[in-house]
Structure 1
Amino acid sequence: MLLLRPNPFHEESLRGFIVRCSEANNLDSNFLFRFLGLQKYNKFVNLLIPDKSLDLTQMSELTGKAPQTLKALTLYNQLFEERLFENEFTRFPIWRYGTCIQRQRVCPECLRVDPHHKNIWELSLVTVCSIHKCMLLDRCDSCGQRINPYRDRICRCKCTHRSKRMLGKDCRSCNGNTANTAIHETPPL
C-alpha cells in the first residue's frame, strides 16, 4: 500500500490520479505505471476508455480506493452507456481519434486552483476550459514539448519550468521568461 494515498478529485482522470499518487509518494510515475501493470514494453494500457479486461485490483490495494471508484475516473461510463464499448469496433475508433492518447491538455487556471487533471480534457473535441473560457494548452511554452501525460509532477513539465503567469516567478533552471508556460511547479508547503 502507498504511504500517502490521496483521494481522487471529482472529474479527475485516472492517468492524472496515478501521477498525483506517484508525486505524493515521491515515486517516478513510469515506475508506478509499470508496477501496476499499466505499462508494458514502453506501451501504456488504454486508461481513457478501457475495455472490461482492465483489472484495477492491484491499484485498488495500493491506493486504498475501490475498483469502481478508480474505474469512474475513466471516460468509460461518463460519455456513453457501457454497452457501446463492448464492441472493439466502436471502442477503438473513439479511443484512437476522439481522445488525447499521447498528449495531455490542461487549463493552467484550473491547475492553479485545484492541481489535478480533469478527465474531460482527455477528449480531443474539448479545446476550451468550460470554467475559465480559455484554450486548453498541450505544450509547454518554455521548452515547446508536448505535455507528457506520464510526467512525474501533475503541475510541472519535465523541463522543470514554472509559469510566471501563474506563480509570478521565472524558471530556476534557465532564468528565462516563462510567461506563457502551460505547466507550473507546485509551491512548497
Structure 2
Amino acid sequence: MPDESISSWFTRTAAANGLRPGELYRIVQPGGDRNPRDLDRHADDCLLDLLAGKTGVPVDDLKHATFRRWAGRLFEHDDGLNKLVWLPPAGREGGRRCFGQQVCPWCLRADAQPYLRLNWRLSFSTTCPIHGRLLLDRCPSCAEPFSILRQDGRGAICCPGCGADLRDFTGDEPAFDTISVQRDLLGLIREGWRDLGDYGPVYSFVVLEILAQLLRLLAGGKHAHALRLWLAEQAPSLAVRPESLPRARDGALLTPRARGVLVAMAHWLLAEWPHRFVEAAKAAGMTSTDLRKRSVGEYPFAYAHAVDWHLKEPHKGDATEEIMVAAQMLHDHGQSASRQNLVALCGTKLGSMGGVADPVASGLPWGKGRYWKLDGVSPEVKAAARLAAHRAGEDVGPWLDALLRRMLGLCAIKTPFDRHDPDTITLDANVGCEG
C-alpha cells in the first residue's frame, strides 16, 4: 500500500493469517511481549529480515515503512532511547497515554482495505491533505489513544479501548488552512536542508528542531500568552480565540486542532530567521534566561547564537558594596544577614551574596556544637544500650539521660509518664555480651 507504515502492514499480515498482532509477534519473536512495542520505530534488522524472508517483501521496502525513512532528515539519528522530535510514541508506554498515532476516517472509508499511512505519525501533520479535515489522535468516544498493534484481528481498524470502528467517525474542519505549512515541512524533509537567513544552509533536522523549540515556547510557559497575542497582531490570519488553545508543556499532548495552529505560528516565526523571532521575544519580555535553560551545546547553533546575540541580558556589575550596605542594614535592625534575608531585601539573587552573607553554621570548635558525636561508641555498647532501654520500657534517649544523671550526680527529672524511678535503674554490664 502507498505510504503504509510497518505497524499497519504487520497488523494486516496477522489478520490475513487469522492472528492478532501480538500473537504473530510472539511467533516471529519467541519470548516477545504480548503487546509489541511501536514497530514503526523499534523494528530491528533481525525482525525485518525475518519478515522479508517469510513474506517475500523486499527488506528495503519494509525499512522504508519505518521511521528509518526520515533518518538524517527529520532526525539526525535514533538510538531507540531518547524522544524523537515530531515523532511521539503511540498507544501506551509505561502506563502513559501517547497520542502519536493519527488517522483520517475519510481516508479509511475510501480504502478498499483500510491501512495507516506513515505520514500520519508526523505530529506537525494535523490535517488530511486530501479531504481537508483534521486527523484524529484519540477515540472520540472514549478518548483512548490509537494503537493498531492492539487490534483483535477482525480486519477493521478499531479503537483498542471501546472497539469502535474508526471509519464511523468524522474529522472536524481546521481553524484555518494548515495544509500549506505541512507541505512546506514535508518538502523540507525531502530536500534535507534550508537556507536559514544569515546562518546559510542548515540541515533539515536542525531546522525542525528549532521549529520544535518555538512550538514549546508557544504551547506553554509564562510567556506563551504574550507571544500568541503579539503574533495575532502581526499575522491576523493566524489569530484564534485564546480559549481554543490550551497550554501544555508537551505540544504532542495537544489535540490536532490546537497543535496545527501552534505549528503554523511557529512556522511563521521561523521565516526571516531570526528577525521575527527576536522581535516577538522582545515584545513578550523574554531574555536569554527564558529562552535557553540548558547549556549552549544542547541547542542548535542557529538558535543559541540568535538568543545570545540579540537577547542576552545586560551584564550585572559587581554589587558587593550594595550587598554590604544591605547586610549592615539588617544588622542594625537586629536581623541576621543570611543569604535568604539578603535576597528578600534586595529582591534578586546575586552571586556575590555568598561572600557577604553570614555563615549558616556557628563555627564552634569540635565537641561544643549543637549535636553530639557518637563515632567513638562501639556497636556493642550501642546494642547493649538499646536492649537495656527496651527492658526498662524506655526509649534510648530518656533511659540514657536518666542513667547519666545518676552517674553524674544530677537531679533526676520526673514526669507523669515515667515508668521507673531513675534512681533504681541499674546497668547490666553483661547485656548484649556473650557468656
Q: Which TM-score band applies after superposition, normalised by the shorter structure?
A: 0.5 to 0.7
Using the TM superposition, name which of 76-85 and 139-148 deviates more. Answer: 76-85
Counterpart among 151, 160, 163 of residue 160 in structure 1: 163
In the other structure, the counterpart of 1:109 is 106
Q: Which of 32, 41, 45 is the aligned partner of 1:40?
A: 32
Q: In structure 1, which of residues 99, 117, 134 is the aligned counterpart of residue 88 of structure 2? A: 99
**Aligned residue in 2 for 1:137:** 136
TM norm structure 1: 0.66
2:61 & 2:26 partners in 1: Cα distance? Answer: 21
1:101 partner amino acid: A
Cα–Cα, structure 1 residues 119 and 10, in superposed 2: closer, same or farther, change >3 Å?
Answer: same
2:108 aligned partner, one-letter code: L
Partner of 2:123: 124
Per mean C-alpha deviation after superposition, the further-off stretch among 45-54 and 108-117 is 45-54
Structure 2 unaligned spans of 5+? 92-98, 172-435
Q: 1:38 to 1:117 in 2, by over 3 A?
A: farther
Structure 1 Cα separation of the partners of residues 131 and 156 of structure 2: 19
Number of the residue aligned with 1:88: 79
Residue 93 of structure 1: SS of its match in structure 2? coil
8 Å CA contact 1:128–1:135 kept in 2: the answer is yes
- 2:59 is aligned, of 59, 64, 67, to 67
* Whole-angstrom CA distance in 2 between matches of 1:39 and 1:33: 9
Higher helix share: 2
Do the aligned residues in 2 keep the contact of 1:22 with 1:32 (CA within 8 Å)?
Answer: yes
Alpha-carbon distance change, 50 to 57 in structure 1, aligned in 2, over 3 angstroms: same
Offset, 1:50: 4.5
Offset from partner CA, 1:50-103 (integer Å, 9 cap, x none): 587554121112222111111111121246359932x639x83317x6233325
Partner SS, residue 156 of structure 1 = coil
Give the stretch that moved more between structures: 101-110 or 49-58: 49-58
Identity %: 25
Say if 1:12 and 1:116, in contact at 8 Å, map to a contact too. yes
CA RMSD of aligned residues (A): 3.3
Contact 1:20 1:154 in 2 (8 A): no
Alpha carbons of structure 1 residues 52 and 19: separation in structure 2 relative to 1, 3 Å: closer
Question: How do 1:18-37 residues align onto structure 2 when only pairs under 5 Å count?
Answer: 18-37=10-29
Q: 1:19 Cα shift?
A: 0.7
1:117-162 CA-partner distances (Å, limit 9, x unpaired): 0001112222221221211112223343222231234522343334
Mean CA deviation greater in 34-43 or 63-72:
34-43
Q: Quick check: 1:142–1:180 contact (8 Å CA) kept in 2?
A: no
Structure 2 counterpart of 1:124, which letter? S
Query: How far apart in 2 are the matches of 1:48 and 1:107?
Result: 18
Judged with a 3 Å threshold, the aligned counterparts in structure 2 of structure 1 residues 66 and 40 are, in CA distance, closer, same or farther, namely same
State the SS of the aligned residue for 2:53.
Answer: helix
Q: What is the total number of aligned residue pairs between the two structures? A: 157
Q: Structure 1 residues 143 and 83, CA, compared in 2 at 3 Å: closer, same or farther?
A: closer
Which AA in structure 2 matches 1:12?
Answer: E
Q: Is the 8 A contact 2:156 2:165 kept in 1?
A: no
Assess if the C-alpha contact under 8 Å between 1:106 and 1:121 holds in 2: yes
Contact 2:26 2:34 in 1 (8 A): no
- For the 8 Å contact 1:105–1:137, the answer to whether it is kept is yes
Change (3 A) 1:110 1:73: same
Following superposition, the deviation at residue 43 of structure 1 comes to 6.2
2:146 paired residue number: 147
Residue 4 of structure 2 corresponds to 12
State how far apart, in whole Å, the 2-side matches of 1:138 and 1:93 are: 18
Unpaired runs of 5+ residues, structure 1, are: 1-8, 168-178, 182-189
Q: Distance in 2 between matches of 1:55 and 1:29?
A: 14
